[in-house]
Amino acid sequence: MSPCVTSTNIPSEPPRLEISDPKKSTQYQECVNSLKLSKETMLKIGKIFHEEMELGLSLNPPKKSSLQMCNTYITQLPDGTEEGEFLALDLGGTNFRVLLLELSKGQLVREEVKHYHVPEALRLGHGITLFDYLAKCIYEFLKEHDLEKRRLPLGFTFSFPMDQRGLDSGVLVTWTKTFNCEGVVGEDAVKMLNDAIHRRGDLNVDVIAVLNDTTGTLIQGAYLDPACGIGLILGTGSNACYIEKAEKVLRWDGGKINGTEEVIVDIESGAFGDTGVLDFIRTDFDRELDRHSLLPESFTFEKYISGRYLGELARLIMVKLVNQRSLFAGVGSEKLLTPGGFTTRFISMIEADTINHSTDNVRIVLDELEVNFDADDINIVKDICYLVTDRSAKLVAITLATILERMNKPNSVTIAVDGSLFKLHPRLSTLIDKYIQEFAPGRKFSLLLAEDGSGKGAGLTAALALKMKNKL
């Protein structure tokens, strides 16, 4: 089992804020006060999140939920009896991977991985051409490992919004990122990949499961720890999934099929608040960030918490303070005034300074931004980085605490987490752990770093799909 990623040695307290100029101090506090969320506000958010979950699971809800609550059709987790060789295809960006996992009595005894590039012409061309290319790469991978004659099941991580209609059926809702292939939106991505594989005539591969990286993280977490019941991605973007009682998934009659008791539900939590239910915590900084984002008025929750946005949020706060002449003597640099000029990596660096009672990293960052600064400026920037980190941690924690309360498990539940923000931020996990305890008192849990759910998780899901298929 991988160790819990939180550490009691990492402090959760904010940096000591000392501003010599009383006027500057007052202006600063007025500027950032809206970012501070009280416990009462957090509990209100948790109540709304639970209501949105209920709406998303309902057959005929009275109003639309901002949470899709997608049924993954995965009704069991790894139990140590998985045997055989399984392929995984992980597609979610300009590069993708093909993997081979060999399991013996549930243990991974062999792993082969190869990365492939998807040229722009394929990402923007016709979908059939794209899927033919994926099939070609699968063949080359198998030939390289002398496996082209073997009949192998494949788990397909397809990290785009999809309407999942079965364990082996995922209809593309819309392309995102750098993909915009013709003829795929509204089509079943699994069928298109299987058709491409069968068109070749030289592959004995069947795509038997489709999933996203969040579901894969839960599966990978369950492989590492049988107590795992929640999966979380917290990186450039964010999403969560969890194990739900099948009888509560009213849009699906899975509870009536083969005695199914539980199923993994993909929450699509990055969209929490898209219907306006979280507008009461939106600050002017959030509104400005959203207006200039690639997809305004969508992925609302993700914009509060994830790595793509935290650095920009901090930059917008600093720009306002510069305009008020309460930071950097009222003079901003071109880098600071340019969107994207302050990254989430800078926040991690500066937060490390706060932990270590240092100013080394913040001085490096401010020099890189080409601004003139004094001791007050250093303290203000450190506090800004803490505030956006702390708000992110609180919001992540209240959703996880709500899920834990909903699951109502008597024993400890492990939360499997993957994503660059979670892995690289020096104390985000500590803060999340602290706030889950505060918002779900009495619930036992642990945070577990479960890397490569999109790869290993897909192979493990193929193994589970085969077991479920054999039971029918």
List pLDDT tens digits, range 398-432. Answer: 999 999 999 999 999 999 999 999 999 999 999 99
**Structure tokens, 126:** 């016709």
pLDDT at 253: 57
Residue 128: band (very low, low, confident or very high) from pLDDT cuts 50, 70, 90: very high
User: For the chain, what percent of residues have pLDDT higher than 90?
Assistant: 85
Model pTM score: 0.93
Quick one: average pLDDT of 260-267? 92
Residue 420 among the catalytic residues: no
Average pLDDT value for residue range 163-190: 92
Class of 84-224+453-464 in CATH: alpha beta
Over residues 347-372, mean pLDDT: 97
Residue ranges covered by each domain of the chain: 84-224+453-464
Contacts of 38 (CB under 8 A, 6+ apart): none
β-pairing, 228-234 vs 205-211, is: unpaired
Structure confidence at residue 257 (pLDDT)? 52
- 49-76 per-position pLDDT tens digit: 999 999 999 988 999 999 999 999 999 9
The residue ranking higher by pLDDT, 44 or 453, is: 44
pLDDT for 160 equals: 86
- Give the pLDDT of residue 178: 84
Q: What is the 3-state secondary structure (H, E, C) of the chain?
A: CCCECCCCCCCCCCCCCCCCCHHHHHHHHHHHHHHCCCHHHHHHHHHHHHHHHHHHHCCCCCCCCCCCCEECCCCCCCCCCCCEEEEEEEECCCEEEEEEEEEECCEEEEEEEEEEECCHHHHCCEHHHHHHHHHHHHHHHHHHCCCCCCCEEEEEEECCCEEEEECCEEEECCCCCCCCCECCCCCEHHHHHHHHHHHHCCCCEEEEEEECHHHHHHHHHHHHCCCEEEEEEECCCEEEEEEEEHHHCCCCCHHHCCCCCEEEEECCHHHCCCCCCCHHHCCHHHHHHHHCCCCCCCCHHHHHHCCCCHHHHHHHHHHHHHHCCCCHHHCCCHHHHCCCCCCHHHHHHHHHHHHHCCCHHHHHHHHHCCCCCCHHHHHHHHHHHHHHHHHHHHHHHHHHHHHHHHHCCCCCEEEEEECHHHHHCCCHHHHHHHHHHHHCCCCCEEEEECCCCCCHHHHHHHHHHHHHHHHC
Residue 255: pLDDT band with limits 50, 70, 90? very low
Rounded mean pLDDT, 302-309: 96
Q: CB-hemisphere CA count at 13 Å for 228?
A: 31
Dist. CA 220–CA 451, nearest whole Å: 8
Token digits of residue 77: 């987790």
Which residue of the set 132, 168, 188, 213 is catalytic?
213
pLDDT for 197: 96
Q: Pick the closest to residue 465 from 58, 167, 156 (CA basis).
A: 167
pLDDT in tens, 3-54: 466 666 788 888 889 999 999 999 999 999 999 999 999 999 999 999 999 9
65, 66, 159, 306: which is the annotated catalytic residue? 159
**Tokens, residue 33:** 């006060």
Answer yes or no: 165 catalytic. no
pLDDT of residue 392: 98
**Backbone φ and ψ of 109, nearest 5°:** -110, -10
Q: Is 202 a catalytic residue?
A: no
**Confidence band, pLDDT 50/70/90 cuts, at residue 256:** low
Task: Please pick, among 66, 90, 97, 266, the residue that the annotation labels catalytic.
Answer: 97
Mean pLDDT of the chain: 93
Per-residue pLDDT reduced to its tens digit, 81-105: 999 999 999 998 889 999 999 999 8
Would you place residue 260 in the very low, low, confident or very high pLDDT band (cuts 50, 70, 90)?
confident
Sheet containing strand 228-234, edge to edge, reads 70-71, 262-266, 238-245, 228-234, 413-418, 445-449
Q: Give the per-residue pLDDT at 294.
A: 83
* Band of pLDDT at residue 1, cut at 50, 70 and 90: very low
- Residue 354's closest CA among 380, 378, 382? 382
Give the angle 134-137-139 at the CA atoms, nearest 5°: 115
